[in-house]
Structures are given as structure tokens and as C-alpha cells.
Structure 1
Amino acid sequence: MTRNVQKASTILGTIVAGTAAALLAPLATPAAHAAPAAAPKPTKQCVTGDKLVPSCGVLWGAAAGGFTSAPRDEALKDWEQLSGRTASIFHTYHKGDEVFPTASEIAMTRDAAKPRVLLVNWKVAYGSTWAKVAAGEQDKRIDAFAKRIKTTYPEKFFLVLNHEPENDVIAKKGSGWEAKDFKAMYRHVIQRLDSKGVDNAINVMAYMGNEKWMAQSWWKDLYPGDDVVDWMGLDSYVSAEKGYYHYGQFGDLLDREPSGGGTGWYDWATTQHASKPIMIAEWGVYHRIGKPTDKTAGYNSVLPELAKRPNIKAIVYFDTKHDDEGDRDISIDSTKANLAAFKTLAANPLFNVKIA
């Protein structure tokens, strides 16, 4: 979650069958936004596969307690009780030499009654630069992580390296933070983990998809390569306040175009990287703190969009009462109506995916 936070009548009835059926299909190659033709309802349970891609349906996840001192595991448990559904994806954040997965993270993903998959964001270059990591300066840090995984954590997990890198780029030669340095860092870390025998990390490239950054000449240089990326990720938000920054619904956070025009993020991802499943690794609907606003339109827009976009295989909510600048409320319960709408969304059988 960064300062570039981005952009409702219950819909369970007629769209449930169409939504679930549409997401049975394999990844779509082009990004067609027309509603898919009707297909049979699932006849068997949706389960995750080798790369944690569900055979049908959509993985449901969350990060809770953002920008607070609350333990992330306890915050997520409270959020799950509030929303009415277990978060199949548990999103956490780490940097530098922090030791993870932590004991609490491991416990959360080994809860037999509530199966969860860990989604870890790791800023490997903390205290260094992307260029230095790529050159091997932090190999000891990478190797220590690899050893922990090999000896203590055999479960499959999602790994994001430096989410939202666009916001960290310093487009100056020699800065160590150029887009090409991010690509080199990402490739070096993943290839080194592979060389150490880490075969249970599912790699996610998490973009912001912000109009300003997508218009930069260096934006295309960020992508590390299909050989080291398993999922395409997007961190994007919408405002419930009409006229406020990124006002809109779920489709708007997927379709933001580069400033000046061009291909929207979802269309770009599904065209240029058609084989990759998409994870909305952070999303939310916000209003300014102290200005409670109806978010139900945003929540109610999710299912129709998922029905039209079969490449989306996971959505992960970021819940906080205040963002990093302390001016936006992204919580699901800022009003009773908002919570009711979110609970209706969470209850949809589309998200009934078994972690295999």
C-alpha cells in the first residue's frame, strides 16, 4: 500500500452461476471484456494446482491491520470473523534480514481447520540497492532465507519481491534504482533461490498499475521475464467518494491506462503475458477518514468483473482504518451497509477453493 492508493444492490442471484462457470476456463489469451457465454456449473470441487492456480473459482485473501501495531495473524483472524470467510491467502510484509516465515505465519498456514497460503512481500534490497543485490552484495541474505525455507517450511507459498516497484524507481543512471536494476535484482534473487533448491516459492510480480508510472519510458523495463515470474500481480484501489482521486468501481482499478492513453493494465497483462494467472494482490475501496461513504457499489461490482475476466485467479483485500498517509479508510466496516455488502461478496461460492 503506497500513497498512490487507487480506484455495490446485491448481485448474488443471476450472476452467481455465470460468474462461477466463467472462471472454470483456462487463462484467456486476449483480453475480451464481453461477458462470456454460459457454461455448465462446476461438477467437482475447485482446488489449487502446481503453481497454486485454482482449477476453477478464485482464491480469496487479505492483509489486515495495515499501518497498526496489531499482530498480523490476530488482525487477520478478527477480519475473517468480521467478513465471514477464511482468507485462503494470508498476505504479510518483510524487509532485509527479517526472519520469516515467522512462527505465527507458519501456524496460520498450518491451521487444519482454516487452510491458508502465505503471500510474502520481501524487500530484499532494504539498506542496499537493486543494482547491488543483482551484483551479489546480498547473497548471504538470500542464502539465509533459502536455508530457512529448505529446513523449516516445505509448504508452497507466494513470494513477491519488492511490490509496487514503480514507486521506488529513480530514473537516473547509476542510482542503483533504475527499472533495469529492478529486473536484474528480481532475476538474480529468483535464480539464486532456485540454485539453492527452493522449489516451493510461487513468484508474483506485483505492479501498481498507476497511470503516471505506466506512461514512463522505463516502465516496460521492469518486467523480469516469463521464466522467473509465475503470476502477474496488481495492487490497486478505488475511491467511493465521487469526484475524489480514483473514484470508481472494481473494473476501474483493472483498466487504468497510461497517462496520455494506451493499453490498460489488465489488457496489457493478458495480451503480453497471456500464460500468466493474475492476482489482485492488494485491492480495496476507500473514503477519506471522517467522511464515511457508501462503498457497496464498489463491492457489488466485483463479481460481474470477475465473470468477464477469467485470467484473475486470486483477489487479496488490504484492510486498514487509515493508509500510510493517515487520510484514507480502506476498512470493510466503516459503515454497517459497507460491511453487509462485503459479507455478501465474501459469501459467494466462487471463492470456495480448496488448498491442495
Structure 2
Amino acid sequence: MKRSTLRKTVLTLTALVAGFGAATATPAQAAQAADAGCRTGAKLVPTCGVLWGGAAGGFTSAPRDKALKDWEKASGRTATIFHQYHKGNEPFPTKAEIAMTEDAAHPRVLLENWKIAYGSTWAKVAKGEQDKRIDAFAARAKAYGKKFFLALNHEPENDVVARAGSGMQAKDFAAMYRHTIERLRAKGVTNVVNVLAYMGNEKWMAQSWWKDLYPGDDVVDWVGLDSYVSVEKGYYHFGDFGDLLDRKPKGGALGFYDWATTKHASKPLMIAEWGAYHRVGKRADKSFVYDSVLAELKKRPAIKAIVHFDTKHDDEGDRDISIDSTSSSLSAFRKLAANPIFNVKLG
């Protein structure tokens, strides 16, 4: 092949991998992008593109593996990241979760949320009082063998008790996080990639203790954010995909994305939960949120993964965060999911 021809081919594939020129791609274009070599590295950070993930069946009794498969069918793409939730002594990865990562036709990696201090406190975990719990998990993780994401106590802001001696102050969370990661490493666990998943709400970011949550770059692999937007004008947190990244506390402080990329520039950013909601029964269109995602990702190269949380009602029972609440919403989401930027192979 001539150099000029080779250069044109490389440039074409690069553009396809970036995936921002168009909201959809033909099957041939998607295949070309995948062949260009976007894949995950040592810390599951993609060499190019963005990891696509999902959690489905939230706040229902539906088996989470089946719920995710149904969501994948509806969205038209396999969720490379399969997001699950656990607490306390619950044994995980479970057989069902492991099976989801052994499906060669649908490659997936686990994102396990673990409220390790369930029934205890962060301070007690940091003091070693839950080391038996940590060691049991370490043994399971090593036996599993494959790399997977671990989020320790996602959205810690919501659990902070800002009172001396509570054992649940922000500094206690940081100490718990550090102790757990350091003990896992000491036990020889090398396949866990940890994610510090913030709630990122401007109310919490304005608290004097918010900065104390961070345990240190040496024990954090990814910085995560759980954030949602409303599609009803005038309702709480109305906006598009960019708005869920840029909420700022009062007083002129940085929004979450700018904070993460300024204060922790070496860390990849995962949107560990995201979605668009309307009040149950309103059936408002979500298309404009889904249509805004690609342009925002183009402006924000630190984002290396986005994981949609899908449910017909949230924990408060009044918000629909599903992708198919209207036909136009589902169509827009399928268009987003089809983009080759999400064609990342698990390395």
C-alpha cells in the first residue's frame, strides 16, 4: 500500500473511532472503528473511544442480568460495563454476574458497587474492624481472576454524618477507602480497578467537608460521577447531558467536570450513573438529552465511560429514568447507542 493511501486509511479510521461526525454509523463503519484498535488497558481505560455501560431493573424484583439483557435489546447495543450493587457481607461477584462476563458474543466487564460499611461505620472499617469482610472479598476477587471495576460506597455524600464521633464523617470515608484499597493490594488483588463515585450534587459540593472525601490519588484509579437531569422545564435539575456535568456550588467554585480535570487531571472520568427523567406518568420526551451526549463527550476528553441507570421509577418512586418512556426517546437513545465511539474492545 502506498504511504499516501495508508495515511488516508488511518485518518479515516481515526475519524470513525472518534465517532463525533455523525450521530449514527453504518454496520461497516462500526466494524472499521472496532478494527482500528480501541481497547481497554491495564486500568480498563480505553485507548480511544468511550466505554458504554448500563444498569437496569433498579428498584424492582427483576433479576438484574435478565433486566440488562432486555435493556440491551431495546437500546441495540451490549453494555460493555454491567453495573451491579452490593452491601456488607453479600458474596460477589455472583454466579449470574460472572456468567454475564463469560458470554463471548456479548463481552462485558463488571462494575460492582459495594457498601462495605453496611451495619458498621466508615471509621470502624478504617480501624480494621471489617478486615474479615475485606479479606473474604479479596479471596473471591482473586478467584474470579478477570479485571473489574469496584466502587466503594458510591454517592458517599448522602451518607455523611457531619458530627464528630459519628464514624461517618467525610474524613472517615476517605480513611475507609484508603484502608480497603491498601488491604486488597496487600492481599495480592491485582484485578480490581476502583472508582470513587461521587453524587456530585451542587448542594453537597458546597459543604465544607466535601473536599475531605477524597482519599488520595495513589488509591483512586477512576473518578466517578452519578448525575441525572430532568426533561421537564421548571422541574428539579432540568437540562441536557452537559448540565449534569457542570453543576456548580454557590460561591463560584468549579463544576464537577472542571473540578475533576483540574484537581485530579491524571484520572479518567466515569459517569457511573446517568439518565434523563420525568415524573411518573408525564411521558415527556427525552430525545434532546440523548441528542446532546456526543457533542459533550467531544468537548470533554477525560470522560472514558458512561453507564446509564434505567428504571421506571427511582427510589423515591416518582421519577421515570427509562429510555423507552416514549417512542421518540427510545429512537434517540438507539441512535446514540449505535455510534462507533462506543466500539471499545475489552483488552
TM, length-normalised to structure 2:
0.91
The root-mean-square deviation of aligned C-alpha atoms, in Å, is: 1.6
Of 148, 160, 182, the residue aligned with 1:169 is 160
Matched, 1:295 2:293: no
Supply the distance in 2 between the matched residues of 1:43 and 1:112 (Cα, whole angstroms): 17
Matched, 1:75 2:73: no
Offset of residue 42 of structure 1: 9.0
Give the match's secondary structure for 2:218: coil
Matched letter for residue 46 of structure 1:
C
2:88 matched to which residue of 1?
A: 96
Matched letter for residue 218 of structure 1:
W
Offset of residue 324 of structure 1: 0.1
CA contact (8 A) 1:281 1:314 kept: yes
Higher RCO (CA < 8 A, seq sep 6+) = 1
Supply the distance in 2 between the matched residues of 1:272 and 1:47 (Cα, whole angstroms): 26
Matched letter for residue 342 of structure 1:
F
1:1-356 correspondence to structure 2 within 5 Å: 17=15, 20=18, 44-151=36-143, 153-356=144-347
Supply the distance in 2 between the matched residues of 1:258 and 1:17 (Cα, whole angstroms): 37
Give the match's secondary structure for 2:138: helix
Offset of residue 21 of structure 1: 6.7
Work out the percentage of aligned pairs sharing the same amino acid: 75
Q: 1:215 to 1:18 in 2, by over 3 A?
A: farther
CA contact (8 A) 2:16 2:340 kept: no
Offset of residue 261 of structure 1: 2.8
CA contact (8 A) 2:55 2:309 kept: yes
* Alignment length (residue pairs): 323
CA contact (8 A) 1:117 1:157 kept: yes
Supply the distance in 1 between the matched residues of 2:251 and 2:237 (Cα, whole angstroms): 16
CA contact (8 A) 1:22 1:310 kept: no
Q: 1:94 to 1:42 in 2, by over 3 A?
A: closer
TM, length-normalised to structure 1:
0.89
Matched letter for residue 278 of structure 1:
L
Q: 1:265 to 1:18 in 2, by over 3 A?
A: farther
Offset of residue 149 of structure 1: 1.6
Give the match's secondary structure for 1:354: coil
Supply the distance in 2 between the matched residues of 1:18 and 1:258 (Cα, whole angstroms): 37
Supply the distance in 1 between the matched residues of 2:115 and 2:207 (Cα, whole angstroms): 23
Greater helix percent: which structure? 2
Q: Which runs of 4+ in 1 moved over 6 A?
A: none
Supply the distance in 2 between the matched residues of 1:60 and 1:86 (Cα, whole angstroms): 8
Gapped regions of structure 1 (runs ≥ 5): 1-15, 24-40
Gapped regions of structure 2 (runs ≥ 5): 1-13, 22-32
Supply the distance in 1 between the matched residues of 2:48 and 2:311 (Cα, whole angstroms): 29
Supply the distance in 2 between the matched residues of 1:278 and 1:193 (Cα, whole angstroms): 22
CA contact (8 A) 1:236 1:282 kept: yes
